[in-house]
Structures are given as C-alpha cells and as structure tokens.
C-alpha cells in the first residue's frame, strides 16, 4: 500500500510532469472507482493542470477550478506513459481503473490489483467535498505537527494500542501498515502498548521516530520515477515484511502477528523485552 512517503514522491513526480499540460481526455475503466457524479470526468477535458498537492494518502490535481483527486488504497498504483495506447480503455475485470491523457498523448494510468477494489476517484470543485480528506488528522511532517500535538493525540487515544493510533487516518494522516511498523521499531515500542501507558520519554522518542522515519523515506523517494518507488520502499524497510529474518539492530528474529486481512511485524528483542505477541486475528487493532 502506498503511504505518505510514496504518495509524496508521486505528488512530486506529477507536479514536475503534469503542471502546465492540458488534459485532452480521461478514460474510466472501473466505474465503481468514481465516487462523485455531480461533476463528470469529462469536465476536466481542455483544462490545464496548475498544481498537484497531497492530503494524507490522497493525490490532488488542480485544473481550471476543479480537482481530480485519487486514493490508491491497498492495491493501487500509478504508471506514467509517454505515449498512451490509441485504443480507448475498455471496462472489464483487468487492473486498469482509469487513464488521464494529455494533449501530447502522454499521461498516467491508475491500476489496482487484488480482489478488494478500493481505489477511489473524485472530481470536485473543492477538496472539502472529499469525505476522506475532511476527516484527516494532522500531517506528521507538517511544521505544526509538534510534540504538543502528539501529546494531545496520545491523551485522547486513551488505552488504544499504538499500532492502531498510528494507522488511523483520522488521528494522524498518511501512515499505514508498513511505516507504523518501522516507526514503532525505531522507537523500541510494542505495537500493542496502550497509548496511555507511554511515559514522557517514550512520547518524545515516538515523536522523533515519526518525524525521522517519514522524513528519511521521503528524502530517499524524492526524484525517483513512479516505477522505482515500490522497490525502493521494500529495500529500505527494517522489520515490515521481514518475518523470520534477523533484526538489523539486535539480531533477534523478526516476528509477526497475523490478522484477518493483514499482519504486522516487530522485533521481540527491540520492542517487547523478548516476548512474543499472540496472534489476534479478530483484534480491533487494524480497524
């Protein structure tokens, strides 16, 4: 799943590639991915892209007073093509969800693999009309995301487990399954630790880990082409997706907790005092 660093890299890529180009046409292949209907996709035709912004995991293209917004969800991705296929996209069961084609026939495709089709597209006059954006928590890399802001988040979270707090987009925007694992590993905190159980020093450590892990990932991703981002992310993860491998910090075997449709990875040596966490497939942790 693309998270804040990858989405920010895609935003930067599109800003450098699309701004100043005119949208010639759009093609919708997965009709269920379009979540708004008041303004049709065709309203974008003939408009020049003037900005590309990010809100959490949403990418937002501004063109002529309208916004084309998309969220790649778990299995979605963006692919740039210097020359789009001449044949229009055909609705079907393939991975293609939509195309945006510019007046020089370059453009990008949005695809989604897997059985759960959650990629979402919106065409709106205002970003406030996208429900997922309206409810977003603060951006963890914004200047106003201070230690005091995190303290307030932790106070409100009560006994909610840290993994769930970090992943909840209504609490903090942009962090997903992978980077929450990486942040908690860097902070040496158990994913199941209640937020209310954090001492002042642990809060400071968690804040530093959030800022550092995300900022470093954004820096690594900057300037990479869209097709290179997935590989770069996997290459630089320490614990997420590394079950059975040695922790690069302490050498302990990385362990996993499985859920109904996801899993988390952690280092028992660094994070839980050597204890293995029990699987909680029906846990509310990842809701």
The confidence score (pLDDT) of residue 234 equals 84
Q: Which of 144, 135, 146 is nearest to 168 (CA)?
A: 135
Average pLDDT on 250-270 reads 94
Average pLDDT, the chain: 93
pLDDT higher than threshold 60 for residue 270:
yes
Assess whether pLDDT exceeds 60 at residue 260. Answer: yes
CA distance linking residue 214 with residue 86, whole number of Å:
39
Asked if pLDDT for residue 239 goes beyond 50, the answer is yes
CB 124 within 8 A of CB 69: yes
Residue 73 has pLDDT above 50, yes or no: yes
| CA 110 to each of CA 33, 65, 120, 186: distance values in angstroms, whole numbers, following the listed order | 10, 22, 10, 33
pLDDT for position 138: 98
DSSP one-letter code for 31: G
Yes or no: say if 233 and 5 are a contact pair by the CB < 8 Å rule: yes
Q: CATH number for the 147-271 domain, one of 1.10.8.50, 2.40.110.10, 1.10.10.10, 1.10.540.10?
A: 1.10.8.50
What pLDDT score was predicted for residue 285? 44
Helices of type H across the chain: 4-18, 131-134, 147-157, 162-167, 177-187, 200-221, 226-236, 268-271
Q: Domain map of the chain by residue range?
A: 4-134, 147-271
Q: Give the gyration radius of the chain's Cα atoms.
A: 20
User: Is the per-residue pLDDT at 114 higher than 90?
Assistant: no
The whole-model pTM stands at 0.93
Least confident of 3-12, 83-92, 96-105: 83-92
- Phi/psi for 25 (5° steps) reads -160, 160
Confidence class for position 90, pLDDT limits 50, 70, 90: confident
- Check residue 230 and give its pLDDT: 79
Nearest to 258 by CA among 231, 236, 276, 233: 276
Nearest Cα to Cα of residue 184 among 238, 140, 234, 148: 238
How far apart CA 267 and CA 96 sit, in angstroms, is: 37
pLDDT, mean of residues 115-120: 88
The CATH code of domain 4-134 reads 3.20.190.10
For residue 101 the two structure tokens come to 């084609």
Tens-digit pLDDT profile for residues 160-185: 999 999 999 999 999 999 999 999 99
Q: Give the separation between CA 64 and CA 43, rounded to whole angstroms.
A: 10
For tokens 């109904």, name the residue. 260
Average pLDDT over residues 130-158: 97
* Cα torsion angle, 202, 207, 210, 216, sign: negative
103 C-beta neighbours (distance < 10 Å), count: 14
Report yes or no: 18 and 46 within 8 Å, Cβ to Cβ: no
The reply to whether 147-271 shares the fold of 4-134 is no
Cβ contact 183:209 at 8 Å: yes
HEC string of 88-123 equals CCCCCCCCEEEEEEECCCCEEEEEECCCCCCCEEEE
């Amino acid at each position: 799943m693309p998270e804040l660093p990858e989405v920010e890299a895609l935003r930067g890529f599109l800003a450098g590639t699309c701004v100043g180009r005119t949208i010639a046409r759009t093609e919708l292949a997965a009709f269920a991915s379009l979540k708004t209907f008041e303004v049709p996709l065709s309203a974008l035709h003939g408009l020049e892209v003037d900005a590309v912004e990010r809100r959490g995991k949403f990418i937002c293209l501004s063109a002529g007073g309208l916004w084309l917004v998309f969220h790649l969800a778990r299995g979605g991705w963006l692919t740039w093509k210097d020359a789009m296929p001449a044949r229009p996209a055909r609705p079907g069961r393939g991975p293609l969800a939509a195309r945006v084609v510019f007046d020089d026939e370059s453009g990008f495709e949005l695809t989604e693999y897997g059985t759960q089709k959650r990629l979402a597209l919106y065409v709106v006059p205002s970003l406030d009309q996208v429900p997922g954006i309206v409810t977003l928590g603060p951006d963890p890399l914004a200047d106003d995301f201070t230690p005091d802001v995190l303290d307030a988040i932790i106070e409100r979270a009560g006994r909610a487990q840290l993994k769930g707090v970090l992943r909840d987009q209504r609490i903090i925007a942009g962090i997903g399954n992978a980077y929450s694992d990486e942040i908690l590993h860097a902070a040496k905190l158990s994913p199941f630790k209640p937020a209310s159980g954090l001492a002042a020093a642990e809060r400071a450590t968690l804040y530093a880990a959030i800022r550092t892990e995300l900022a470093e990932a954004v820096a690594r991703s900057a300037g990479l082409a869209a097709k290179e981002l997935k590989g770069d992310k996997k290459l630089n993860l320490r614990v997420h997706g590394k079950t059975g491998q040695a922790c690069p910090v302490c050498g302990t075997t990385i362990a996993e907790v499985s859920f109904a449709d996801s899993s988390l990875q952690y280092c028992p040596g660094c994070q839980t005092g050597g204890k293995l966490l029990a699987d909680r497939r029906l846990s509310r942790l990842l809701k």
